[in-house]
Structure 1
């Protein structure tokens, strides 16, 4: 483990050895924040396309396309994030390979429209593979510099490479063949870390990794705030729907703030001690992130209903935002709140999430949803997280 700065080689590179998981003051780097910016573009486009699909009445197709595209966005982001927490050197080669991944994200974002319009995944798959092979190069480099992590890094490099070649082969399949291969390849992707980490745990930094997840959550919730602003803009342009649109804007802000409060209530770093908990935390965030992105799409779909620009009919249109809210709350409760809360919180939070699901069947669904969310927040203020029973660090590699 490198505790002091390592001298640069003749090629101006830093040996890519495992970083100290207990490094004091570890926080997100400017490169990581820069990296997240391109995901803002991809998430925004995916959310807008989902909203358009729902507005046009193509709910099932839109949701399926969104979940598939979002998997590619989330998985590429997550794999880079966990690699960076363990092996970030911030030298020129590390930065270059990261920027290549960013380029892949932008190309993927450009291909999202084809997915929703034509179910054409060609551009998305090619961009995704570019991102993944750039990360393979990082794993190979880490295997050269880290004897204690060599087996793990090689398993990552080999496993990811094989799956990417299989993704490219799906481009040769007919449309129906692709959708048959899709779940198999997704399972293969999520299996790689499970297999590789069993050869030796990579040294993730609990506070750094959960900060990264928190920052991405903020990006996604920011999309909801944009939806709230759009409601105000529509209200200014449509005086007939002024009252409902202003109410929607206010209630969206309340709901977004409540989701932020719920997410950041528990101490997330306690949830990634050991391989099993870390996998549950990392993989469980797919549902949290996807729900956060879909929430903003649901708000946009509801605005279209209010302004008579939607084929959806109330009250069913309201499910477009209540389902994402419920999934978000239940996901955060399952992976972060439940082990850190007392009985009262562990009853109120999941029941509140489930209660939101049936709000569209009541005449004022969004108003009632906001009341429920405020109630959950009040309970969280009243009942703080339980004290940490032990503060032992997670198992790590030692170089």
Structure 2
């Protein structure tokens, strides 16, 4: 298991990595479905807290494998076996999502999570055995992960009244492991490859929102009831999802990571982007239930299940990738659009208001980012003439 070249040109996601993503999306789908179920039945606050906790486990295990694979992705038989073992762990975690979010019983989720993490420890030990240069970093990862897994076992015995606080403490310790490990020597990650991996996972999450929007059309055709309302939900859901895609991919992302601090910021901040994208699909399903009279929650909370995740997504993308690309006026209009999304919970027609706000944000991004990109191409063409 030798390190990959961090400057390797045309480095793309491998079939194994894509397969890995699809398995993780199963866990996201289970957690989003449970969030939808709890929101629909009037337990929105408990559902959101449980969802954020389960999603942390999904996101963190996915992210750790992704960063490891960009540095030591040998793709031999043992690497594949250990990767498939991690997939098995995420399926166990997915199976325990409902019990964890609804009953606070994280036993099955912790078992699945520990399987994923210990399989990664095996990968780090292989890297340590084959690379004297990166051996201290690899051992630090392995030791840190094992210690925190013992703590997660202890978490199962924490009283439920302290469950959320204990989870936050352990999560903070968990995300500190890379900071500890990489302080010795950073692993040879590939900026283009890693940002492609994040982009592909974002696409898959947005695809779930498209599926939810399609469900609105299916319900409208099969039942024949509330046809206009369901078609509005479907069309607006497609527009909003397309806007989320457009804004996320408005700029190249590899330029945002050039050191340990920027890479940690980029990776960690995607928790909010990924979680918001997953919650958005649940919000669409809640809206379908609300129109059909099957949702047991008030109108404001129902609207918030849609508009708040979208607002969080746009705000996170702006902070992470766009705020340095937009002018002060452009950022002002962008943030105004986000504020309109958040305020849409108290305005009739949350779908229409949110869709209009997305359209306004896209106009700003298209004009400012597009014009700068065009200017850059023009400058390159001018230089080419002189050369």
The two structures have a TM-score, normalised by structure 2, of 0.94
Deviations 1:94-143 (A, max 9, x none): 11100000000111111111113321100000100000000011111111
Q: Is the 8 A contact 1:301 1:320 kept in 2?
A: yes
Report the Cα offset of residue 175 of structure 1.
2.4
Matched, 1:218 2:196: no
What residue in structure 2 maps to residue 149 of structure 1?
Answer: 134
Deviations 1:170-197 (A, max 9, x none): 2233323443421111011000011111
Matched, 1:249 2:234: yes
Q: Report the Cα distance in structure 2 between the residues aligned to 1:278 and 1:174, rounded to whole angstroms.
A: 36
Q: Report the Cα distance in structure 2 between the residues aligned to 1:339 and 1:91, rounded to whole angstroms.
A: 41
Q: Please give the residue correspondences for 1:116-135 in structure 2 after superposition, counting only pairs within 5 Å.
A: 116-135=101-120
Query: Which stretch of the first structure deviates more once superposed, 346-355 or 109-118?
Result: 346-355
What residue in structure 1 maps to residue 98 of structure 2?
Answer: 113
Report the Cα offset of residue 233 of structure 1.
1.4
Q: 1:158 aligns with which of 130, 143, 146?
A: 143
Q: 2:281 aligns with which of 296, 300, 320?
A: 296
Report the Cα offset of residue 344 of structure 1.
3.6
Other structure's SS at 2:324 match:
helix
Q: Is the 8 A contact 1:305 1:313 kept in 2?
A: no
Q: 2:243 aligns with which of 258, 266, 279?
A: 258
Aligned residue-pair number: 374
Q: 2:272 aligns with which of 267, 278, 287?
A: 287
Report the Cα offset of residue 372 of structure 1.
1.3
Q: Is the 8 A contact 2:216 2:233 kept in 1?
A: yes
Q: 2:9 aligns with which of 2, 15, 24?
A: 24
What residue in structure 1 maps to residue 380 of structure 2?
Answer: none
Other structure's SS at 1:147 match:
coil
Q: Report the Cα distance in structure 1 between the residues aligned to 2:75 and 2:334, rounded to whole angstroms.
A: 40
Report the Cα offset of residue 24 of structure 1.
0.7
Q: 2:61 aligns with which of 71, 76, 79?
A: 76
What residue in structure 2 maps to residue 193 of structure 1?
Answer: 178
Matched, 1:377 2:384: no
Q: Is the 8 A contact 1:224 1:252 kept in 2?
A: yes
What residue in structure 2 maps to residue 169 of structure 1?
Answer: 154
What residue in structure 2 maps to residue 395 of structure 1?
Answer: none
What residue in structure 1 maps to residue 379 of structure 2?
Answer: none
Runs of 4+ in 1 over 4 A off after TM superposition: 385-389
The two structures have a TM-score, normalised by structure 1, of 0.91
Could you say what the CA RMSD is over the residues aligned between the two structures, in angstroms?
Answer: 1.5
Matched, 1:138 2:138: no
Q: Report the Cα distance in structure 1 between the residues aligned to 2:329 and 2:208, rounded to whole angstroms.
A: 31
Q: Is the 8 A contact 1:122 1:171 kept in 2?
A: yes
Q: Is the 8 A contact 1:19 1:86 kept in 2?
A: yes
